[in-house]
Amino acid sequence: MQLVAFYIFAALSVLGAILMVTRKNPLGGAVALVVSLASLAALFAMLHAEFVFILQILLYAGAIMVLIIFTIMLLNLSREELKEPPVGKVKGLFILAATVVGLVGFIRVLRLLPEGTEYVAPTFGNIEKVGTMMLTDYLYPFEIISVLLLVAIVGVVLLAKKII
Amino acid sequence: MVTIHHYMTLSAILFFIGVFGVLYRRNLIVIFMSIELMLNAVNLSFVTFARYTQSMDGHVVAFFVMALAAAEAAVGLAILVMIFRNRATVQADDLRLMRD
C-alpha cells in the first residue's frame, strides 16, 4: 500500500519536474513545478516529517511559488522575448548524455547504502521535538539564518528601488 | 516496503533533472526554477536519511535549506526584475557584459 502511494507521488513529482524543464512558457513550467513540490510534500509526510511537510506546503508551494508566478506575470514576456537561442545538436546531446551518465553513476553508488528498517519510533517527527532541537543544538545556525533573512530583505528593498 | 533506495533514487532523478534544466535552458526564470528543484531534491535526501537513521537532525537542516531558498528566491527574483528593467531580456546568453 505504501509502495503504491510512493510510486504515484514519485511519478507525479518527476512528471512535474520534466514538464517544468521542457515547457517554453515559464508560467506553465511554474504550475508544473507546484505539482512537483506538492507531491514531494506528500512524500515528506510518508517519511514522518510533519514539520518539513507543513513548511513545504506553506513556504515552497505557497510563498516561493507565488513569488515566482507573480514575477513571471509582472514581466509579461512576449513570444519574441521568450524565444531562446537554439542549443546546438551536439551540445544538447552532450548535456543530455552527461546528465544521464551522472545520474546512473549516482544511483550505482546509492546501492551501497543499507536498506534501513521499517521501524519508526512513535515520537519521531514530532514538531515539538524539532522545535526544541532548533533552539538548543542548532541555536547558532538558527540565529544566523534569521540574520541572513534580514540581509535578504534589505538587499531586495535596495534592488527594487528605481534610483539608488 | 519502501526502502531508502526508493527515496534516494527519486532524489537523484529530481536533482539531475534540475541539473539538466540549468545546463540546457537559457531562460533565466526556468534556470531559477531548476535551482529550486535541485534544492528540493536535496531536502528529500536529508529527510530520508533522518527517517532511516532515526535522528531528527535532518528535519532541522531541511528547515535551514528552505529558509535559504526563500532568501535566494527573494534576491534572485529582484535581480531578475532589475535585469529586465535595464536590459529588456531574460535570456542568459544576452548577459555578456563581463565577457566583451
Question: Within the 39-68 window of chain B, which residues sit less than 8 Å (CB to CB) from chain A?
Answer: 40, 43-44, 47-48, 50-52, 54, 56-60, 62-64, 66-68
Domain annotation covers residue A48: yes
Same domain for A7 and A65?
Answer: yes
Q: What is the pTM of this model?
A: 0.92
ipTM above 0.95, yes or no: no
B80 touches chain A (CB under 8 A): yes
| Structural domain count, chain B | 1
pLDDT of residue B60: 93
Asked, for residue A119, whether it belongs to a domain, the answer is no
Do A82 and A140 sit in the same domain of this protein? no
B9 and A110: CB-CB below 8 Å? yes
Q: What sign for the dihedral angle of Cα A134, A140, A141, A144?
A: positive
| CATH number, residue A33 | 1.20.120.1200
Tell me how many domains chain A contains.
2
Residue B37: which domain range? Answer: 26-91
A21 CB within 8 Å of a chain B CB:
yes
A132 with A74, same domain? no
pLDDT tens-digit map of A45-55: 999 999 999 99
Residue A99 within a domain: no
Angle between helices B57-87 and A65-75 (to 10 degrees): 10
Q: Is there a domain that residue B64 lies in? A: yes
B16's CB contacts (< 8 A; 6+ apart) are A99, A100, A102, A103, A106
With beta carbons under 8 A apart, name residues in chain B contacting A100: 16
| Residues on chain B touching A131 (C-beta within 8 angstroms) | none
Classify residue B16: in a domain, yes or no.
no
In percent, the amount of chain B with pLDDT more than 90 equals 64
In a domain, B49, yes or no: yes
Establish if A81 belongs to a structural domain. yes
Which grid cell sits at A43? 512524500
Opening angle at CA A149, ends A148 and A155, nearest 5: 90
Q: Which residues have CB under 8 Å from A6's CB, separation 6+? A: A43, A46, B2, B6
CATH number of residue B36's parent domain:
1.10.287.3510
Specify if B2 maps to a domain: no
The count of residues in chain B is 100
Residues A17 and A83 in one domain: yes
For residue B7, being part of any structural domain is answered with no
Range of the domain at A133: 126-164
Residue A141 has its nearest CB partner, among B8, B64, B81, at B64
For range A24-31, the mean pLDDT? 92
Based on the domain organization, do A25 and A69 belong to the same domain? Answer: yes
On whether residue A111 sits in a domain, the answer given is no
Dihedral (Cα; B7, B9, B14, B19), 10-degree rounding: 140
Phi first, then psi: give them for residue B27, nearest 5 degrees: -80, 125
Confidence of residue A36 (pLDDT cuts 50, 70, 90): very high
Burial of residue B92 (CB within 10 Å: 0-12, 13-18, 19+) is: middle
In a domain, A117, yes or no: no
pLDDT exceeds 90 at position B93: no
For A35-57, the DSSP string reads: HHHHHHHHHHHHTT-HHHHHHII
Over residues B55-68, the mean pLDDT reads: 92
Query: Which of these, B82, B43, B21, lies nearest to A40 by C-alpha position?
Result: B43
By Cβ distance, the residue of A13, A47, A145 closest to B47 is A47
Q: Are residues A34 and A78 in the same domain?
A: yes
Q: Which residues of A touch B3 (CB under 8 A)?
A: 115-116
Residue range A37-91, pLDDT digits in tens: 999 999 999 999 999 999 999 998 889 999 999 999 988 888 887 888 888 889 9
Domain membership of residue A110 (yes or no) is no
Count CA atoms within 13 Å of residue B54 on its CB side: 8
